Structure 1
Amino acid sequence: MILKGFKEKSNKKHLNKLLSQREVSVTDSKVKSLGVILNIDEVDDFELFRVLAAHLNVRPNRLKIIAFSANKKDTLSSWDACYNPKDFGWSGTIKNIELQTFLSTKFDALISYYTTEDLELKLLTAKSEAQFKIGILQTDERLNDLIINTNIKEFNVFKAEVHKYLTILNKIKNEQ
Structure 2
Amino acid sequence: MLLFSNENETIGDREILNCIDDLANNNELIVVFDPIGANGNLEGAIADAMLKRIYFRRQENDSYNYKLLAMELKWCLIWDKIDHARQNVFADHVFEKMSISQKMREFIKNLARTALFEALCRDNIHFVHLLMENGVSIKDLNIEQLTPEEFKMFCARILVD
User: Which structure: greater strand fraction?
Assistant: 1
Same fold (TM over 0.5): no
Q: TM-score range by the shorter chain?
A: under 0.3
User: Which structure: greater helix fraction?
Assistant: 2
